[in-house]
């Protein structure tokens, strides 16, 4: 490995120097803003950027076999860069006084990482078989996060022979199999052998939490003849309980309202004979910290609670990533996707599952209660992504 230190007036110039000398495969090891003294008492000192970069002497033709699991097999560069970011974050924690400088350095480094990955990707794309590039573009146009789509195609590239790459049917068939293998699902909410199951549904307002609960409650009450009980946790007293009460009345179920996290234990104690307890939640907005904080307290009241993060399949990758980030302090067990009937594509459902590293529980496909819900299934999602299946609307 060759390591070099560069100084430049800004990041752009530094990158030019690094790439010019070490080539496009160079990696940045660290960046720092430093003051260069240029006069008495540093009166004319100026800020420059110090970049330490490295180039590895790896034989480019050496073929690595990447892991087929996207959950664990992220490409090496990712791991290395993530480690660098982790180190910088730790430094930031230790030196609060220099926090602002460190933050801006982190921003610069992040930008550079993205640029580096994008550059690497562009270079690599030129070496890919045309049919794989077409498959990659297809996944991206189906809403899949581009990094994830790119990793899938890298795996295919290593797996398939040149002859297979010439055949689009082979690419589609292996691609289909690969995507399907990555999809993780939970299975039904009620486990036959478990005594009592408690599940809470969290997520942004209007995403379909209450409707999904009504669908699940109706299925288990009317078809499976289970003893179902409903609870509403209404952090802001937004009146969400009324909607659930209407559904509960139709299905013939009791509803309890919990106004503070500490009330939950008492209510659960009174429902010892229930097979399934579904907890609806309502807040002003998931952006409001109170909702998330209160949920976190609610979850800490009982350990046997299963948390479904409810997300809409109509949201973009960026929005979904943002929402998942907002709920990072809550122990989420699975993702439930609603409004598949309104979505144009399903790549973002897959990307969110990979990014959040959580399995999928249910898909909802319309407004009808209880009909429009199905258990999440790997084959179904894969067929939806590749437009081999459609969600019928009523």
Strands 360-364 and 334-338, by their bridges, are parallel
Of the pair 9, 246, the CB lying nearest ligand GDP is at 246
Q: Show the binding pattern over residues 220-259: x = contacts Mg ion (CB under 5 A), - = does not.
A: --------------------x-------------------
Q: Closest Cα to residue 33, out of 115, 85, 104, 116? A: 104
Minimum Å distance from CB 249 to ligand GDP? 16
Minimum Å distance from CB 254 to Mg ion? 18
Rounded to an integer, what distance in angstroms lies between the CA atom of residue 29 and that of residue 77? 12
- Position 211 contacts ligand GDP (CB under 6 A): yes
> Residue 202's binding partner, choosing from Mg ion, ligand GDP, none, with beta-carbon cut-off 5 to 8 A by kind?
none
**Considering only residues 138, 209, 219, 358, which one is a binding residue for ligand GDP as defined by CB under 6 A?**
209
Minimum Å distance from CB 212 to ligand GDP? 6
Please, are residues 200 and 277 in contact by the beta-carbon 8 Å criterion?
no
> Residue 172's binding partner, choosing from ligand GDP, Mg ion, none, with beta-carbon cut-off 5 to 8 A by kind?
none
**Considering only residues 31, 210, 312, 317, which one is a binding residue for Mg ion as defined by CB under 5 A?**
210
**Considering only residues 143, 175, 208, 261, which one is a binding residue for ligand GDP as defined by CB under 6 A?**
208
Of the pair 105, 234, the CB lying nearest ligand GDP is at 234
> Residue 211's binding partner, choosing from Mg ion, ligand GDP, none, with beta-carbon cut-off 5 to 8 A by kind?
ligand GDP
Say how many residues touch ligand GDP, by CB under 6 A.
17
Query: Hey, which residues does 230 pair with through a beta bridge?
Result: 255, 278
Minimum Å distance from CB 262 to Mg ion? 22
**Considering only residues 221, 229, 235, 365, which one is a binding residue for ligand GDP as defined by CB under 6 A?**
365
**Considering only residues 50, 91, 121, 342, which one is a binding residue for ligand GDP as defined by CB under 6 A?**
342
Minimum Å distance from CB 31 to ligand GDP? 43
Q: Show the binding pattern over residues 99-138: x = contacts Mg ion (CB under 5 A), - = does not.
A: ----------------------------------------
- Position 217 contacts Mg ion (CB under 5 A): no
Strands 360-364 and 373-375, by their bridges, are antiparallel
> Residue 339's binding partner, choosing from ligand GDP, Mg ion, none, with beta-carbon cut-off 5 to 8 A by kind?
ligand GDP
**Considering only residues 77, 168, 205, 301, which one is a binding residue for ligand GDP as defined by CB under 6 A?**
205
Rounded to an integer, what distance in angstroms lies between the CA atom of residue 359 and that of residue 349? 11
Minimum Å distance from CB 223 to ligand GDP? 19
Minimum Å distance from CB 146 to Mg ion? 33
In the complex, which residues of this chain contact ligand GDP (CB under 6 A)? 205-211, 243, 338-339, 341-342, 364-367, 372
In the complex, which residues of this chain contact Mg ion (CB under 5 A)? 209-210, 240
């Amino acid at each position: 490995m060759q390591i070099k230190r560069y100084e430049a007036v800004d990041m752009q110039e530094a990158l030019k120097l690094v790439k010019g000398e070490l080539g496009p495969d160079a990696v940045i090891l660290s960046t720092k803003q430093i003051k260069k003294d240029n006069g008495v008492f540093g009166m004319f000192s100026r800020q420059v950027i110090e970049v330490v970069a490295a180039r590895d002497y790896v034989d480019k033709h050496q073929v690595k076999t990447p892991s087929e699991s996207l959950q664990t097999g992220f490409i090496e560069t990712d791991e290395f860069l993530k480690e660098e970011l982790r180190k910088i974050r730790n430094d930031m924690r230790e030196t609060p006084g220099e926090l602002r400088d460190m933050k801006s350095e982190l921003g610069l480094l992040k930008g550079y990482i993205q640029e580096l990955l994008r550059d690497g990707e562009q270079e690599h794309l030129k070496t890919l078989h045309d049919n794989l590039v077409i498959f990659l573009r297809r996944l991206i146009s189906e809403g899949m996060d581009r990094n994830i789509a790119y990793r899938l195609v890298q795996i295919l590239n290593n797996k398939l022979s040149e002859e297979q790459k010439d055949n689009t049917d082979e690419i589609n068939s292996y691609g289909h199999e690969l995507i399907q293998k990555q999809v993780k699902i939970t299975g039904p909410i009620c486990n036959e052998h478990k005594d009592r199951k408690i599940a809470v549904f969290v997520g942004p307002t209007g995403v379909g939490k209450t409707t999904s609960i009504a669908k699940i409650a109706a299925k288990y009450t009317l078809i499976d003849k289970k003893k179902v009980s409903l609870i509403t946790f209404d952090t802001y007293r937004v009146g969400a309980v009324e909607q659930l009460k209407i559904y509960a009345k139709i299905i013939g179920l009791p509803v309890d309202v919990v106004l503070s996290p500490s009330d939950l234990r008492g209510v659960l104690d009174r429902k010892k004979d229930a097979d399934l307890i579904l907890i609806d939640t309502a807040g002003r907005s998931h952006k409001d910290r109170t909702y998330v904080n209160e949920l976190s307290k609610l979850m800490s009241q009982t350990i046997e609670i299963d948390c479904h993060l409810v997300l809409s399949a109509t949201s973009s990758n960026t929005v979904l990533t943002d929402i998942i980030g907002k709920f990072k302090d809550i122990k989420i067990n699975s993702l439930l996707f609603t409004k598949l009937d309104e979505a144009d594509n399903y790549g973002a459902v897959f990307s969110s599952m990979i990014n959040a590293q959580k399995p999928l529980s249910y898909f909802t496909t319309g407004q009808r209660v209880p009909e429009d819900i199905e258990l999440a299934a790997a084959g179904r999602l894969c067929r939806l992504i590749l437009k081999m299946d459609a969600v019928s609307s009523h």
